[in-house]
C-alpha cells in the first residue's frame, strides 16, 4: 500500500519537474524578472527611502536586502499561478482525467501536484538567491537553511490558492486575466517593496489593506527566516491561510469543469 503511494508521488513529481525543465523560457523569465526588479527598483527606491532601512531585524539593512524576500515571494506567486494554468490546460486536454483514474484518493493526487509545484518554487528561489549575492545581497549562510521550510510553506499556500482559482475558471483563455487580477494586487498591496510604516504615512486605508493581505505575512515570514528569526504572527497567518486555501481547493476541484 505504501509503495503505491510512493510510486504515485514520485511519478507526479517527476512529471512536473520534467515539464518545467522542458520549458526553459519559464525558468529564464522566473529569474530575469526579479533580478531586474532587484537592480532597477533598488536604485529608485533607495533614493526615496534612503540607503538603508532599520526593519525588521533591529539593525540597518540595504534596500536590496529588504526587497529580496518580497521578490522571492513574487517568484513563488508566479510559479503557483503558472502551475494552476497547467492544471486548467490538463483538465481541458483530458490529462487530468487520466491521472484521476488512479485508485488512490483524489486529495492525495492533488496534494502531490501541490508539493511538486512547491519544490519547483523552492528550486527557483534558491537559484535567485545565489544570483542575488552578485548584487550585494548579503544573507547569512544559516539563513538559507532556515528559510527552506518557510519557502515551502509559502509555495504550498500560493499553489493551493492558484488551484482554488483554477477550479472557478471554465476556459483556459480567461485564466490569464484572472492571474493578473490576483497577482498584482497581492504583490503591490504588501510589504514586498516598501515597509508598512511608509505605507501608513502615505495612506491609512492602504496600510490596513496591506496588513490584511496574506501575501504580506508570506513576505514577512520569509524576511525573518532569511535572517534566522521567527515571525510567529506571520507563521500563524500563513498556516491558517494555507489550511483554508487547501480545503477549498480540494473540495471544489472538478476534473471536467472546463469541458462542455
The predicted-structure confidence for 127-180, as pLDDT tens digits, reads as follows 899 888 887 788 888 889 999 999 999 999 999 998 888 777 766 666 667 777
Q: Residue 148's pLDDT is what? A: 94
Q: How far apart are CA 79 and CA 2, in angstroms?
A: 30
Do 156 and 242 touch, CB atoms closer than 8 A? yes
Question: How confident is the model at residue 119, as a pLDDT?
Answer: 92
pLDDT at 240: 96
- At 52 the three-state DSSP class reads strand
Rounded-to-integer distance, Cα 109 and Cα 106, Å: 5
141-168 helix and 214-225 helix, angle to the nearest 10 degrees: 160
- In the block, residue with C-alpha cell 482525467: 97
Summarize the confidence of residues 97-126 as an average pLDDT.
83
In the chain, which ranges are continuous DSSP H helix? 2-22, 24-49, 63-93, 95-99, 106-132, 141-168, 175-188, 196-202, 204-212, 214-225, 232-252
Q: What is the pLDDT of residue 260?
A: 43
pLDDT score recorded for residue 51: 47
Q: Round to whole Å and give the CA distance between 27 and 140.
A: 25
- Mean pLDDT, the chain, integer: 81
- The tens digit of pLDDT for each residue in 25-74 reads 767 777 787 888 787 776 666 555 554 554 544 556 777 788 889 999 99
- The pLDDT score that the predictor gives to residue 149 is 95
Q: How many CA atoms lie within 13 A of 221 on its CB side?
A: 23
- pLDDT at residue 40, rounded to an integer: 76
Q: Residue 84 — pLDDT band, cuts 50, 70, 90? A: confident
Chain center to CA of 226:
16
Percent of all residues in the chain with a pLDDT value above 70, rounded to a whole number? 80
Q: What is the largest CA-CA distance in the chain?
A: 60
CA–CA gap between residue 200 and residue 42 (Å, rounded): 21
Q: Who has greater pLDDT, 88 or 108?
A: 108
- pTM for the full predicted model: 0.86
Amino acid at each position: 500500500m505504501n509503495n503505491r503511494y510512493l510510486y504515485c508521488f514520485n511519478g507526479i513529481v517527476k512529471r512536473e519537474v520534467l515539464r518545467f525543465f522542458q520549458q526553459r523560457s519559464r525558468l529564464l523569465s522566473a529569474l530575469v524578472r526579479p533580478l531586474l526588479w532587484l537592480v532597477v527598483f533598488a536604485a529608485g527606491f533607495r533614493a526615496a527611502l534612503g540607503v538603508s532601512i532599520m526593519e525588521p531585524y533591529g539593525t540597518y539593512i540595504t534596500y536590496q536586502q529588504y526587497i529580496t524576500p518580497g521578490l522571492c515571494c513574487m517568484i513563488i506567486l508566479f510559479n503557483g499561478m503558472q502551475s494552476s494554468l497547467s492544471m486548467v490546460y490538463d483538465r481541458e486536454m483530458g490529462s487530468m482525467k487520466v491521472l484521476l483514474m488512479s485508485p488512490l484518493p483524489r486529495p492525495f493526487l492533488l496534494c502531490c501536484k501541490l508539493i511538486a509545484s512547491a519544490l519547483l518554487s523552492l528550486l527557483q528561489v534558491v537559484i535567485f538567491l545565489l544570483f542575488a549575492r552578485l548584487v550585494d545581497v548579503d544573507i547569512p549562510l544559516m539563513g538559507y537553511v532556515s528559510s527552506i521550510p518557510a519557502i515551502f510553506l509559502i509555495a504550498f499556500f500560493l499553489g493551493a490558492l492558484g488551484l482554488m482559482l483554477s477550479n472557478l475558471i471554465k476556459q483556459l483563455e480567461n485564466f490569464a486575466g484572472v492571474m493578473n487580477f490576483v497577482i498584482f494586487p497581492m504583490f503591490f498591496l504588501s510589504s514586498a517593496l516598501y515597509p508598512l510604516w511608509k505605507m501608513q504615512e502615505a495612506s491609512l486605508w492602504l496600510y490596513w489593506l496591506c496588513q490584511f493581505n496574506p501575501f504580506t505575512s508570506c513576505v514577512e515570514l520569509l524576511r525573518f527566516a532569511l535572517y534566522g528569526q521567527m515571525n510567529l504572527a506571520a507563521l500563524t497567518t500563513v498556516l491558517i491561510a494555507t489550511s483554508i486555501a487547501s480545503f477549498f481547493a480540494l473540495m471544489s476541484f472538478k476534473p471536467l469543469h472546463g469541458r462542455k
